[in-house]
Structure 1
Amino acid sequence: MTFAGKGNRRPQLDINIELIQVDQENPRLVPYLENPEEASQLDLISVLYENFDTEAVALSLVENGYFDEEPIVVVPNKIPSTFVFADYPNPDKLAQALKGLIDNNTINFTVVEGNRRTSAIKLITDLSLRKQLGIDRFYPKTDDQLKISDISNIPCIIYEKREDVSSYLGVRHIAGLLKWEAFAQAAYTASVIEQELKKGHSIAESIKQVQKVVGDRSDKLRKQYITYKLFLEAKDNLNFNVRPIINSFSLLTVAYNSASIREYLGVEAYSKVDLDSELITSEKSDNFKNVLTWIYGNLDTSEQPVLTDSRKITNTLSHVVKKEESIEYLLKYRDLDGAYERTNGEREYLSKKLTDASRAMQESLKFAFRHKNDDELIKQVTELEELIVALKSNLL
Structure 2
Amino acid sequence: MTFEGKGNRRPQLDVNIKLIQLDQKNPRLVPYLENPNESSQLDLITVLYENFDTEVVAMSLVENGYFDEEPIIVVPDKIPSNFTFSAYPKPDDLAKALQNLINEDQINFVVVEGNRRTSAIKLITDLELRKKLSIDKVYPKTENEKIIVDISNIPCIIYEKREHVSSYLGVRHIAGLLKWEAFAQAAYTADVIEQELKKGLPIADAIKQVQKVVGDRSDKLRKQYITYKLFLEARDNLKFDVRPIINSFSLLTVAYNSASIREYLGVEPYSKVNLDNELITSEKQDEFKNILTWIYGNTETNEQPVLTDSRLITNTLSHVVKKEEAIEYLIKYKDLEGAFDRTNGEKEYLSKKLVSASRAMQESLKFAFKYKNDEELLNKVSELEDLIAALKSNLK
Shift of 1:52: 1.2
Tell me the distance in 2 between the aligned counterparts of 1:284 and 1:306. Answer: 20
Q: Does 2:343 correspond to 1:343?
A: yes
Give the corresponding residue for 1:120. Answer: 120
Distance 2:63 2:240 in 1: 43
- Distance, in Å, in 1 between the alignment partners of 2:227 and 2:93 is 45
Q: Secondary structure at the match of 1:109?
A: strand
Q: By how many angstroms is 1:183 displaced?
A: 0.5
Letter aligned with residue 76 of structure 2: P
Matched pairs, number: 346
1:203 and 2:203 aligned: yes
1:200-239 equivalences under 5 Å are: 200-239=200-239
CA 138–301 in structure 1, closer or farther in 2 if over 3 Å, else same: farther
User: Which residue of structure 2 aligns with residue 25 of structure 1?
Assistant: 25
RMSD of Structure 2 on Structure 1 (CA): 1.1
The Cα of 1:140 is off from its aligned counterpart by 1.2
CA distance in 1, matches of 2:261, 2:55: 41
User: In structure 2, what is the equivalent of residue 241 of structure 1?
Assistant: 241
How far apart are 1:60 and its partner, in Å?
1.2
Cα deviation for residue 300 of structure 1 reads 3.1
Q: Distance in 2 between matches of 1:289 and 1:128?
A: 44
Give the drift of 1:283.
Answer: 1.1
Task: Give the C-alpha shift of residue 83 in structure 1.
Answer: 1.3
1:1-396 correspondence runs (5 A): 1-344=1-344
- Amino acid in the other structure paired with 1:231: F
- Give the distance between the partners of 1:194 and 1:344, measured in 2 at CA: 43
Counterpart AA for 1:243: R
CA deviations 1:222-258 (Å, max 9, x no partner) are 0000000000011111111111111110000000000
**Cα distance in 2 between the residues matched to 1:185 and 1:124:** 29
The structure whose Rg is larger is: 1
Q: In structure 2, what residue type is equivalent to 1:167?
A: S
Q: Which moved more, 1:3-12 or 1:50-59?
A: 50-59
Secondary structure of 2:174 counterpart: helix
**Equivalent residue of 2:14, what SS?**
strand
Give 1:49 deviation, angstroms: 1.2
What amino acid is aligned across from residue 67 of structure 2 in structure 1? F
Q: Deviations over 1:311-336 (max 9, x none)?
A: 11000000000001101111111111
**Counterpart of 1:262 in 2: which secondary structure?**
helix
Counterpart-to-counterpart distance in 1, 2:301 and 2:228 = 24
Cα shift at 1:34: 1.5
| Per-residue Cα deviation, 1:130-180 (whole angstroms, up to 9, x for no partner) | 111222121111111111111110000000100100000000000111000
* Equivalent in the alignment of 1:359: none
For residue 74 of structure 1, give the secondary structure of its aligned residue in structure 2: strand
Following superposition, which runs of at least 4 residues in structure 1 exceed 2 angstroms of deviation?
299-302
Deviation at 1:344, TM superposition (A): 3.4
- The answer as to whether partners of 2:211 and 2:217 remain within 8 angstroms in 1 is yes
User: Is the 2:319–2:344 Cα contact (8 Å) retained in structure 1?
Assistant: no
TM-score, length basis structure 1: 0.86
| TM-score after normalising by structure 2 | 0.86
- In structure 2, how many angstroms separate the alpha carbons of the residues matched to 1:51 and 1:238? 26
What are the Cα deviations for residues 63-107 of structure 1, in whole angstroms up to 9, with x where unaligned? 211111100000000111121111111111111111111111110
Cα distance between partner residues in 1 of 2:344 and 2:83: 71
Cα deviation for residue 301 of structure 1 reads 3.0
**Partner Cα separation in structure 1 for residue 137 and residue 236 of structure 2:** 38
Distance 2:344 2:180 in 1: 42
Identity score, percent? 82
In the alignment, the residues of structure 1 paired with residue 131 and residue 185 of structure 2 have an alpha-carbon distance, to the nearest angstrom, of 33
Amino acid at match of 2:239: N
